[in-house]
Amino acid sequence: FRVLRFLWRATYISILGGLVYGSYGIYLNRHPGEQAEPDPTKKTLVVLGTGWGSVSLLKKLDTENYNVVVISPRNYFLFTPLLPSCTTGTIEHRSIMEPIRNFLRHKKAAVKYYEAEATKIDYEKRIVYINDESEIKGATTTNEVKFDMLVVGVGAENATFGIPGVREHGCFLKEVSDAQRIRKRIMDCCETATFKDQSPEEIKRLLHMVVVGGGPTGVEFAGELQDFFENDLRKWIPEIANNFHVTLVEALPQVLPMFSKNLIDYTEQTFKEETIEIRTKTMVKNVTEKYIEAEYTDAAGVKQLDKIPYGLLVWATGNALRPVVKDLMSQIPAQKDSRRGLVVNEYLVVKGAENVWAIGDCAIANYAPTAQVASQEGAFLARLFNQMAKTDEIQEELSLLSEKQAVAANKELRDGIFGDIKELQKRLRRVKQMGPFEYSHQGSLAYIGSEKAVADISWFTGNLASGGQLTYLFWRSAYLSMCFSTRNRVLVIMDWMKSYVFGRDVSRE
């Protein structure tokens, strides 16, 4: 009985403690303290972008060591792994957005933020040219920002390979606005298909949802869309049940090429059960308003061009360079052979440019363009910059001590200073001993629909490949724990519960 009483009290106290701690955390979050003003004598560090790379850098950076300026057209961080869920309303987009202002307001020293796009980087003059691309324009819309150190973390844009019609008729899936557009179009297709006296061919076309690109973006979206149909659309709009159809088109022989063979097979099998059609070895060559033209090789080995009508086209064929990155590369002779991004050395310094670093999807460091890589690179740079600031501080102290030693009145004093110098030099060596960037791969995860996921996890010395519903629970908890803030976590959980209990919202907005 005494043990039970003890356990009860311990639980009670820990719950109470948790509540107090949580409330205090929320209070601190809502009431940020005073921030140190930027110090103009310090170096100006300009960070471009508010995505995975840049935000991870800003999170760990001691901002009091630099004058930090952040430039990005997006004044929030977006948790991209859950973006496919926003296309069907499983998760509301604001649940995976974190305002950059709130986050920067909690740094020790103030950080300047400009909502603007970097249009050009002059790495020799050390100037970034910026442009306000937002709807509301002030009297000034363009300007220049000088830097001593620059981090380019602008990500990538959508690859179209110059295929005609993609930009005009397809939807991408990279930003919040893309997810909103897709969500609206899904419902528009369904409602238009049920318009009075719509012809059978037109109904079929409108309800044909085509996804181009069998990488993780395309696969996750196709899975989410089929879930939406099975769990909600089919119930609320039964007229569309026989014609709603999802097709995934991929140029390579398989989808999800970065996953192990058994998980690729598992995904393809699951898609078959979900009635998602996969068309591999099929390369889209042209896009018109109502159909795509795709090339495939028939059984006789002859190339054929197929016209595939569609209502919704989602284009997910990977990344391409942003214009500002292309322009910077064209200025640097050492970058002239690179096609995929800014080539960096093992400390993420842009080759051929001094005091310019690149991270994430716009940098080429021999890793896949993923959030995992970008955030590890950002964290590495934060450590590097914190160390560099410490090094500068120690070097300043050292030169002061050397001056003092030179004018010291007697030997005893000189010896004392000599001891201090030795100690500082030892510290300097320790601080300078930072190794190069090393990526640690934690694994790959992807949702494939019907509450199933696939995971290739790095496990001690080997690799653990698993797929199914348990993996789906793991997928959910992993992404939940990776969400930017507690607020995001709470909102995502609430969205999951809401769509589970009430179903997804099928209004078109």
Planar angle of CA 62, 23, 31, nearest 5 degrees: 50
Determine contact, residues 310/291, Cβ cutoff 8 Å: yes
- Site pattern 117..156 for ligand NAI (x: CB under 6 A): ----------------------------------------
Contact of residue 154 among ligand FAD, ligand NAI, none (CB under 5-8 Å per partner type):
ligand FAD
Range 352-411, binding ligand FAD (CB under 6 A): 360-362, 369-372, 374
**Per CB under 6 A, does 375 bind ligand NAI?**
no
**How big, in percent rounded to 5, are the helix, strand and coil portions of the chain?**
45, 25, 30
Q: Among 370, 375, 488, 499, indicate the residue that binds ligand NAI (CB under 6 A).
A: 370
Rounded Cα distance between 358 and 54, Å, is 10
Q: Among 316, 328, 343, 344, indicate the residue that binds ligand NAI (CB under 6 A).
A: 316
Rounded Cα distance between 465 and 73, Å, is 38
Scanning 12-20, 150-158, 264-272, 288-296 for contacts with ligand FAD by CB under 6 A, the matching segment is: 150-158
Q: Transcribe 476-496 into DSSP letters.
A: HHHHHHHSSSHHHHHHHHHHH
What Rg do the C-alpha atoms of the chain give, in angstroms?
A: 27
Residues in the chain: 509
Residue 150: strand pairing partners: 46, 356
Determine contact, residues 424/401, Cβ cutoff 8 Å: yes
Contact of residue 349 among ligand FAD, ligand NAI, none (CB under 5-8 Å per partner type):
none
Q: Among 36, 305, 334, 368, indicate the residue that binds ligand NAI (CB under 6 A).
A: 368
Work out how close the CB of 479 gets to ligand FAD at its nearest, in angstroms, rounded to a whole number: 7
**Per CB under 6 A, does 99 bind ligand FAD?**
no
**Per CB under 6 A, does 282 bind ligand FAD?**
no
Contact of residue 71 among ligand FAD, ligand NAI, none (CB under 5-8 Å per partner type):
ligand FAD
Rounded Cα distance between 78 and 93, Å, is 9
Range 42-71, binding ligand FAD (CB under 6 A): 48-54, 71
Range 235-294, binding ligand NAI (CB under 6 A): 249-252, 257-258, 283-284
- Site pattern 421..450 for ligand FAD (x: CB under 6 A): ------------------------------
Give the residue with the Cβ less far from ligand NAI, 413 or 473: 473
Give the residue with the Cβ less far from ligand FAD, 53 or 165: 53
Give the residue with the Cβ less far from ligand NAI, 152 or 251: 251
Range list of H helices, 207-249: 216-228, 234-236
Determine contact, residues 285/163, Cβ cutoff 8 Å: yes
Q: Which residue has the tokens 């209004």?
A: 507
Determine contact, residues 113/82, Cβ cutoff 8 Å: no
Rounded Cα distance between 284 and 250, Å, is 8
Rounded Cα distance between 262 and 453, Å, is 13
CB atoms near residue 507 (< 10 Å):
8
Give the residue with the Cβ less far from ligand NAI, 469 or 486: 469
457: three-class secondary structure by DSSP: strand
Rounded Cα distance between 377 and 398, Å, is 31
Work out how close the CB of 89 gets to ligand FAD at its nearest, in angstroms, rounded to a whole number: 16
**Per CB under 6 A, does 216 bind ligand NAI?**
yes
**Per CB under 6 A, does 217 bind ligand NAI?**
yes
Work out how close the CB of 374 gets to ligand NAI at its nearest, in angstroms, rounded to a whole number: 10
**Per CB under 6 A, does 214 bind ligand NAI?**
yes
Please give the distance of CA 358 from its chain centroid, rounded to a whole number: 15
Work out how close the CB of 207 gets to ligand NAI at its nearest, in angstroms, rounded to a whole number: 21
Size of the site for ligand NAI (CB under 6 A): 28
Q: Among 82, 446, 453, 483, indicate the residue that binds ligand NAI (CB under 6 A).
A: 446
Q: Which residue has the tokens 């249009």?
A: 119
Q: Which residues contact 14 (CB under 8 A, 6 or more apart)?
A: none
Q: Which residues bind ligand FAD (CB under 6 A)?
A: 48-54, 71-74, 80-81, 83-84, 117-118, 153-155, 173-174, 217, 322, 324, 360-362, 369-372, 374
Q: Which residues bind ligand NAI (CB under 6 A)?
A: 161, 163, 212-218, 220, 249-252, 257-258, 283-284, 316-319, 368-370, 444-446
